[in-house]
Chain A
């Protein structure tokens, strides 16, 4: 009994160890993307070493080799990251720990330790990527780890690896519905529980606090998502989708920046009157590492951003108190018809100042326009000039390195992006004595017809202007719209000629597909899946959970849904009952009926009595001859069927049923 077990496990242990190495490789592989190359190489070498030890039947390295090696690796991590404590350094250490632990496995407990560490490494991979492919890789890793764990438990019979992987997959399949329920129902806590290390968030692109030439056009080439919006009602028309961000009022001749709150001027109280139908929507802001929150012009109340305090500036900008490093969601209500500070004249000079001595031509032109008494007409005059003056809207405008950038643009190149138009417009307006400022943010967005989400990308970044007109307050003016109306009507992609990567026109069209084409619809589908993933998996917050619970509660309190659930339960019960019934042999069923009947006739079958003994007793009993003979015959046939050597002939059931009907 013992001998075969003594020789067999050696090979089996090897198999198990190799399986463990393979599954840990699956877990470690995605980490290679962010680890220093030497860590990946060292890990690979260590695992190869371990595999060699297993395959060649060598001895494991003694601690006198391992300890200096581990210490050296630690020094290496310190050298690479300049710390041992940060998040990335921690992950690197963990990766090395798993690799070295492989060389120090002696007891069964160590196997569990490695498997558990592997689970933790799967989690740490989410610091770097939480996409759908990562999730699929996670599931594959779990299947491999489960199969490994399961292999350690086997003793005698070892099913082939494929069967074991299938067992692991089945276990996971059974666990998934449960995990899904827990995911949505388990009470969520808003993190973080403690301060995160500084390197927790890498720099990301986004709108900045300033506007210099070239900044916006840089951003416009990024397809990164800035935020997504879900409207409660119908989506307002594209030309009204102005997402307000930083408001810039200071110009130094090159860069527009925000007006610093002055110590001497008391900020005016914000006066906003709104009209028309409110537009309710929910913004899911991607992490930008800035503090800006974007809102459709004009929002009436501060949004409630989970985990962040929100402030409102005098220029109606929303900012969180700390940088937004994770995806956040907030609800807002906006009004597309509004009047911002219609009565109070803006603070003296603040929105009229211009740097001295530069752009003399533009200044002169502005002063010329100022002769027109109605400020609204001055605005119209400048816009007319933009529309008719042969201006070109382009992503790659000629550089304006000179001191008088606005002059060079207005009277020289006449080709620019939104930042040039907005900047020049505000300059002209101020020169003409109309309070004006630059507003940056996003314009438009891509509505995904599949899930109703409006996606606003970095390429939708935009700059426009606001002028203050008596009794009308701050009025939005978009000089870009005067130059290139299609930018505002239909979005950036339509306003610019399609780019031609590698000089190939067709490739460009492939990258910017028509929304109605198959490719375009596929892109929408992928976008919808990605957005659903972000909304329901990556950013499933306590608020969202509360909403879901509420909706679930409302849905369940309907009598229809309760009836449906009841019906489902009843069906499940019946199916179960039916399948149990089906399992019994019809001959056995008839036999139990016969026993029951004979029991009613005063001859119950004893629990230990077989059909033959029972038949003998019945033959001796004083039953009426008809039923008695029938019962005896039934039992004879039954025992022949049950215990006889011959295969049962067909038609036994009707015969037995007939005999049974005679036992009364």
Chain B
């Protein structure tokens, strides 16, 4: 009775499971059909058989059956070349709309059978672009790219794994929906208007934050603008010999309030265009190392600078008006 219960529980888990986390490609998930070469081989077998029958060649029958059996073994081996692999999604860094989103995928081979020539690509690609090999107990990591269009979360498209190894007479394939998503930032607007400087203009007429008086160098901290890296000092010390990245440290100057406010943009503009402009401004402010405050709807970030701040702002732009979870 308990056995039955357990089986039922197992069945329920299996039936309702989605491709969360890593996935074992069981034999049931692998489909197989003969290729065109396989059909040609079938015709060859027929010709061999007819030849053997017509000329009463005992060895001809032998050859025919050996070749046919090789094709059957090939069918099993092609399936086994795919079955038993463990697939898991890897990192999927954020990209701007219009760029290709890279999805890292990991193929593990926990079995004792080496796998060769497993072609992997997204479902919508007509010809797979990448193949991986995985030795017994080994693994392979690859990055698949797919174009992005709209901002927001993008789920990895369905992945198709296929193989023709060893003889190419059959093609086995399997589907996998990786549980992986990439954040797509809005496309930064081309030729956007200049940054919206607020408050009084700085005395020198240039509102860079504290960029006037050189105050010395200090060691690099994550978030320091790249512009402020003290390249001359860095170049003197080879990082491998204990050198560190150093950042120029500026003092003085007035910090102008740079506020990127979504609501301040003209309402007549399309919302997406406004988001695109915001994205461009974030990038530009970051590039020019101007600390910027960021207002988007209820989100209000204080003025700051650095990759973390930039990522938070872009993320807010990407998800503006969208549910956080890709359905």
Interface residues, chain A, with chain B CB atoms under 8 Å away: 1, 109, 112, 116, 119-120, 122-124, 126-127, 130, 134-135, 138-139, 142, 146, 149-150, 152-157, 159, 167, 171-172, 174-176, 178-180, 182-183, 186, 188-189, 191-194, 196, 200, 326, 537-540, 607
B131 at the interface (CB under 8 A from A): yes
Q: Do A537 and B58 touch across chains, with their CB atoms under 8 A apart? A: yes
Instruction: Please report the total number of B residues contacting A with Cβ < 8 Å.
Output: 47
| Contact indicator B167/A142 (Cβ below 8 Å) | no
* Nearest B residue (CB) for A171: B73
Closest to A148 in B: B167
User: Inside 8 A of A157's CB, which chain B residues have their CB?
Assistant: 116, 133, 135
Does the CB pair B54–A192 fall under 8 Å?
Answer: yes
Interface centre among B53, B64, B70, B119 (most CB of A within 10 A): B70
In the complex, chain B residues whose CB is within 8 Å of the CB of A156 = 117, 131-133
Chain B residues, Cβ within 8 Å of A188? 61
Q: From the candidates A127, A134, A178, A193, name the one contacting B69 in the complex (CB within 8 A).
A: A178
A9 to B: closest C-beta gap in Å = 12
Main secondary structure on A side of the interface with B: helix
CB–CB A179/B65 < 8 A: yes
Given contacts A175-B72, A540-B58, contact A149 B65 (CB under 8 A): no
- Chain B contacts of A152 at CB under 8 A? 168
B13 CB, min distance to chain A CBs, angstroms? 7
Q: CA A124 – CA B52 in complex, angstroms?
A: 9
Which secondary structure characterizes the binding site on chain B? helix
Is B225 an interface residue, CB under 8 A from the partner? no
Q: For A180, list chain B residues within 8 Å (CB).
A: 65
Known: A112-B40, A157-B116, A174-B73. A191 touches B61 (CB 8 A): no
Contact residue among B44, B58, B77, B143 (Cβ-Cβ distance under 8 Å from A539): B58
Decide: A153 and B73 in contact? CB cutoff 8 A. Answer: no
Q: For the complex, what is the distance from the CA of A156 to the CA of B130, rounded to whole Å?
A: 10
A149 touches B168 (CB 8 A): yes
Q: In angstroms, how far is the closest chain A Cβ from the Cβ of B208?
A: 40
A541 to B100, CA, bound (A): 65
Complex CA distance for A146 and B41, rounded to whole angstroms: 13
B74 sits at the interface (CB 8 A): yes
Closest beta carbon of chain A to B97's beta carbon, Å: 23
CB <8 Å contact, B13 and A153: no
Q: Is the CB–CB distance between B58 and A120 below 8 Å? A: no
Do A175 and B70 touch across chains, with their CB atoms under 8 A apart? yes
B74 contact set on A, CB distance < 8 A: 171
Which A residues touch B54, using CB under 8 A? 191-194, 196
- Given contact pairs A116-B40, A126-B57, A138-B59, enumerate 19 new A-B contacts (beta carbons under 8 Å): A112-B37, A120-B44, A122-B63, A123-B60, A126-B63, A127-B55, A138-B63, A149-B166, A153-B166, A157-B116, A171-B70, A172-B70, A175-B69, A175-B70, A180-B65, A192-B55, A193-B50, A200-B55, A607-B13
In-complex Cβ contact of A134 among B13, B52, B59, B168 (8 A): B59
Contact of B59 among A109, A119, A135, A175 (CB under 8 A): A135
Over the window 149-193 of chain B, the binary record of Cβ atoms lying under 8 Å from chain A Cβ atoms (1 yes, 0 no) is 000000000000000111110000000000000000000000000
User: B77 to A186, Cβ gap below 8 A?
Assistant: no
A-B contact pairs, 7 of them (CB 8 A): A109-B36, A123-B52, A167-B166, A175-B69, A183-B61, A538-B58, A607-B13
Return chain A residues, CB-CB under 8 Å to B73.
171, 174-175, 178
Q: How far is the CB of A489 from chain B (nearest CB, A)?
A: 37
